[in-house]
Amino acid sequence: MKAWFKNIGPGPLVAAAFIGPGTVTVCTLAGVGFGYALLWAMLFSVFATIVLQEMSARLGVITQKGLSEVIRTEIKNPVFKTVVIVLMLSAIVVGNAAYEAGNISGGVLGLETLFGNPSVEIGVFDVNVFSLIIGLVAFLILTIGNYKTLERILIAMVMVMSVAFLVTAILTKPNLMEVFKGLFGFKMPKESVLTVVGLIGTTVVPYNLFLHAALVKEKWRAESDLQYARKDTIVAVVLGGVVSMCIIISASAIQTKTISNAVDLALGLEPLFGSFSKYFMAIGLFSAGITSAITAPLAAAYVASGCLGWSTNLKSKTFKGVWLFVLVLGVVFSSLGIKSIELIKFAQVANGLLLPLVAVFLIWVMNKSELLGKYKNSLLQNVVGVVILLVAIFLGLKSVLKVFNVL
C-alpha cells in the first residue's frame, strides 16, 4: 500500500483539471434534466480519456518531452508547424485565461454557499473578496515551484473533492439498479444530444494531454516507470469519472427543473437530505474550482514554454510569467464579475478545432518507431484511438457550430 501511494503521480492532477466548475455544472444539468439516463456518456468519456491520456503519459515517460515540445520538433513543414503552434497557444493559453475566471468563480460559489457573499468597494468596482483569496492561494501554491509539493497539495484537494461529492451522492440514496441501467443502457432521451456532447467534451479536454505529458517527466525518468504511469492514469481518471457520476446521481434526486448550477443543487438538496448534503456539495464545488484554478495556468505555462522553446522548469521566469498572466486575468475577471463573452467564444472555437488536431497528431506520433521504439502504439490502440478521434471531430464541429449559433 505504501509503495502504491508513493507512485501516485500526475494522474490526480489530470483529474483535478477536468473536474472544474464547468464539469460540475454540466453534470448537474444532466442529472436534473435526464436522471441517470446519461451516465453511459460519462462512462464513455472515462474510457476515451484513459486511452488518450495513457498515450500522452507514455510519450512523456519514454521521450522525456512534453507534447508541445514534440510537436515543435516533429512537424517539419514550417507553415503547418506555425499554424499548429498558433492554434495551440490560442486554445490553451488564451483559452485557459478565459476559462480561469470560471474556475475561480466556481470556487467562490462554493464558499458563498457556506459563508455568504462578502465584497468590498474599490473605487467604482464592487470586488468579490473570495475571488481574491482563491487567486492568492493559487498564486502561493504555484510560486512554490516544487513539483512534488505541488503534486501532494493537489492530490489532497482531489481527495477532499472526491469524498465530498461521493458522500453527497450516498446521502441521496440512489436506486442502484437504475444507476446500472443508466451506465449500460446507452439511451439518448429527446433533446439530450448537446448534453451528451457537453459531458464528453468537459472530460476529454485537449489541455490535459499537454499537461499530462509534461508532468510525467517530472515524476518518472526510466522506461521501467511506465507501469506506474499507466496505473496512475487509470486509477485517477476512473476516480474522476466516479466523481462526475456522483454529481449526476446527486442532481437526479432533485425533482424540480429550475436548477441551473451546482449552488442551486447544493441548496436544493438541503430540505430533502439535511444541511450536511449542502455542506458537502459546497466543499466539493470549492475544491473543484480551486484545483482547476491551479492546473489551468500550469497547463498554459507548459504549452507556451514547449511551443516557444522556453524552459519548462517550474522556477524559470518565463514559465512563471505565463501562469501568472493566466491567473491574474482570471482573478480580475472573476472578482469584478466581468463576463468576457467574446473571449470565451474564441476559446471555445480554438479548443473545438484543437482537440481533433491534437488527437490526430498524438496517434501519428505514437506510431513513430524512431521516437518510441517498442513502446509505439499497437494495432488495437490505433483502432480505439481512431474511434475516439472520430468522436473528437464530432465534438469539435458541434462546439464550433454552437458558438456560431448554427445549432
Q: At 400, phi and psi to the nearest 5?
A: -70, -45
Residues of the chain with pLDDT under 70: 1-7, 117-126, 255-277, 338-352, 399-400, 402-407
Give pLDDT, residue 55. 93
Give pLDDT, residue 407. 46
Query: Residue 263: which of 243, 240, 247, 246 has the closest Cα?
Result: 247
Query: Residue 223: which of 73, 375, 54, 369 has the closest Cα?
Result: 375
Q: At 314, phi and psi to the nearest 5?
A: -60, -20
Whole-model pTM: value is 0.85
Q: Which position has the grid cell 507548459?
A: 302
Give pLDDT, residue 2. 55
Give pLDDT, residue 259. 61
104 close to 331: Cβ distance less than 8 angstroms = yes
Tens digit of each residue's pLDDT (9 = 90 or more) over 336-391: 776 655 655 666 666 667 778 888 888 999 999 888 889 999 999 999 999 988 88
Tens digit of each residue's pLDDT (9 = 90 or more) over 213-241: 888 888 888 888 888 989 999 998 998 89
Q: Residue 126: helix, strand or coil by DSSP?
A: strand
Strand partners, 120: 127
Give pLDDT, residue 343. 58
Give pLDDT, residue 7. 66
